[in-house]
Amino acid sequence: MTMLKKTYIAAALTAACFTGAIQAQELTWDNANLHTVSLMMSEPMMKVDGSYHELLDSYYLKPIMTEDKVVMAPLDDIIDELNGVTKFDGKKIEFTLNGKTVAMTDGSPVASVDGKKVEAPAAAKLVEGALYVPFKFVFEQFGGKYKWNSSRQLAEVTLLRPEGSIFKAKKGKISLKTIGKQKDDWYGSAEAQSVADAMLKNQNQDGGWFKIGSSDSLAQVYDRDTFPTYRQKSTIDNDATYIQIMTLAKVYQHTNKAEYKDAVIRGVEYLLDGQYKNGGWPQFFPNSEGYHRHVTFNDNAIANTLNVMRDVASQKDEFAFVPNDLAKRAQASMDQGLRFVLDNQVVSNGQKTGWCAQYNVDTLACERGRSYELASISGDESVNVIKFLMSVENPSAEVVDSINSAVSFLKSQEIPGKKMVKTPDDTMEFGVNRVVIDKEGSSVWPRFINIENLQPLYSNRQGDKLDKFEDVSYERRVKYSWLVTGPGKMFKNDYPQWQEKFSPSVNALN
């Protein structure tokens, strides 16, 4: 038996000894598997089996430590990520995981563990609508082993993972990264129909789709019993819903299968129903909470949605099947969205610039997204907003001025002679580092731009405002794109063609 296997089994046995709660039939001792859950005291994040997620989806809540050194946190999404079940009525919370149930009530240190009263080291406490409970105590009831890392201020538990207890997305040839590269005749292929069939099964009842990883297979059908429920919410984030509508419409054009057409119409209806009266869309809907409620340009959410509305309204090509009444609604929606875009271009020092990644749903002021996505002008998302504006037929003088102003602003934000690269580094956690190097002929642009001084803006998971890329924490440097190249590609291809046709007397790149 290998030392690694011995270590896993020893840890698993230790975990089970905390309560004797894990039943023998749940374990595969010759191939012991562990879940690992980590909380960073200064960050609004959890880390489950190596993957980072927000501690409580769309909120900025962080773990806290009591005077008695008890780590407290809302565990709702952690339990969900482990394929458990959470029930919360606003005061009492109940977690079920691996056949055991633990319940706690706001203000009380007495927990119920499978119906038996057990004294916890601290009382549950409501914080901004979430119930904080003792992290170590709850997971020990599920057979977990707790460890505290004082140097990193990190709380961690390990617990046995029954076979088949966690959903794993499959990587695939056809993904969000590759589907845009397929030629037109591919949409009539058997492979395209397998992707379309999976999209039918993954469509939510409200007509939208949940987001997946950029490399995950689009032909995968997600088992909703093992896929965390908080990650099943319909959204326009990360190309979700947009890609499915566009793909299904093209496959229908080649196959005439009515189920594809019906799914497209349901998807378009979902988008129409989600539009705010101000013309924007939230990141998640319906029933969005936290920053998910804000009007969201981040990850091209609104630009993608407006592209759908434009194409549906045209009733051309793959959308020729669209009923007239739906096309009219799409046209009205696009017009309303266009008005929002024009009205909310950020003006700084009297000059039009770009667009924010998020706008506060109530005030329409620039708003932050996740903790490290600070309120700012976006040097990345503004690109696709400009491309949408350039697609407007017979653009008004207002649209032309908006485009030229935004292009001029992005040109001023260029950082020439630099390139961001990943370099191998075996001493680092992920085996690589991400650095900015000198590269003649290359340019980068800041993804986030400070509204006040129009300088590049960086951050970390704690939400601290940083001025230099080098100050960003290692994990955020490697796992997030702070410098982008999209503006340069637009300057080379899209803008010159549009400018020659619609703005011959004004070239914003000169």
Mapped onto helix, strand or coil, the DSSP state of residue 295 is strand
Tokens 């977690």 sit on residue: 95
Residue 466's CATH number: 1.50.10.20
On whether both 336 and 301 belong to a single domain, the answer is: yes
Same domain? For 330 and 391 the reply is no
Last residue of a domain, one of 343, 372, 387: 343
Nearest CA-CA partner of 460 in 448, 444, 452: 448
pLDDT, residue 476, reads 94
Q: Are residues 124 and 209 in the same domain?
A: no
Question: Three-state DSSP class for 446?
Answer: strand
Cis amide leading into 286 (omega within 30): yes
Global pTM exceeds 0.85: yes
Q: CATH no. for residue 148?
A: 3.30.457.10
**Looking at the domain assignment, is residue 430 inside a domain?**
no
Domain-located, residue 296: yes
Instruction: Classify residue 89 by burial, with Cβ atoms within 10 Å: 0-12, 13-18, 19+.
Output: exposed
Residue 484 maps to a domain: yes
Instruction: Please tell me the predicted confidence (pLDDT) of residue 164.
Output: 59
**105 with 212, same domain?**
no
Q: Are 305 and 406 members of one domain?
A: no
Asked if residue 474 and residue 372 are part of one domain, the reply reads yes
| Same domain as 209, residue 112 | no
- Report angle CA 141, 144, 147 to the nearest 5 degrees: 125
Same domain assignment for residues 333 and 352: no
| Domain identity same for 303 and 222 | yes
Q: Mean pLDDT, 10 residues at a time, over the chain (510 residues)? A: 35 37 39 84 93 94 97 97 95 95 98 98 97 98 96 94 73 95 97 98 98 96 92 97 98 98 98 98 96 97 98 97 98 98 96 97 96 97 98 97 98 98 92 96 97 96 93 93 97 97 98
Q: Is residue 427 part of a domain?
A: no
Distance CA 462, CA 474 (A): 13
439 within some domain: no
Q: Is residue 330 part of a domain?
A: yes
CA-CA distance, 22 to 144, in Å (whole number)?
10
| Same domain for 298 and 405 | no
Q: Would the CA dihedral through 387, 390, 396, 398 be positive or negative? A: positive
DSSP for 350-418 reads TEE--EESEE-TTT--B---STTS-S-EETTHHHHHHHHHHTSSS--HHHHHHHHHHHHHHHHT-EEEE
Domain stop point among 126, 160, 194? 160
Last residue of a domain, one of 133, 160, 187: 160
pLDDT in tens, 100-142: 999 999 999 999 999 999 999 999 999 999 999 999 999 999 9
Q: How many domains does the chain contain in total? A: 3
Cα separation, 130 vs 58, whole angstroms: 12
Query: Residue 334: which of 364, 312, 359, 356 has the closest Cα?
Result: 312
My answer on whether 461 and 377 are in the same domain is yes
| Residue 190 covered by a domain | yes
Q: Is 426 part of a structural domain of the chain?
A: no
Do residue 139 and residue 186 come from a single domain?
no
Q: CB-based contacts of 187: which residues, under 8 Å, 6+ apart?
A: 247, 250, 251, 253, 254
**DSSP conformational letter for 216:** B
Domain that holds residue 78: 3-160
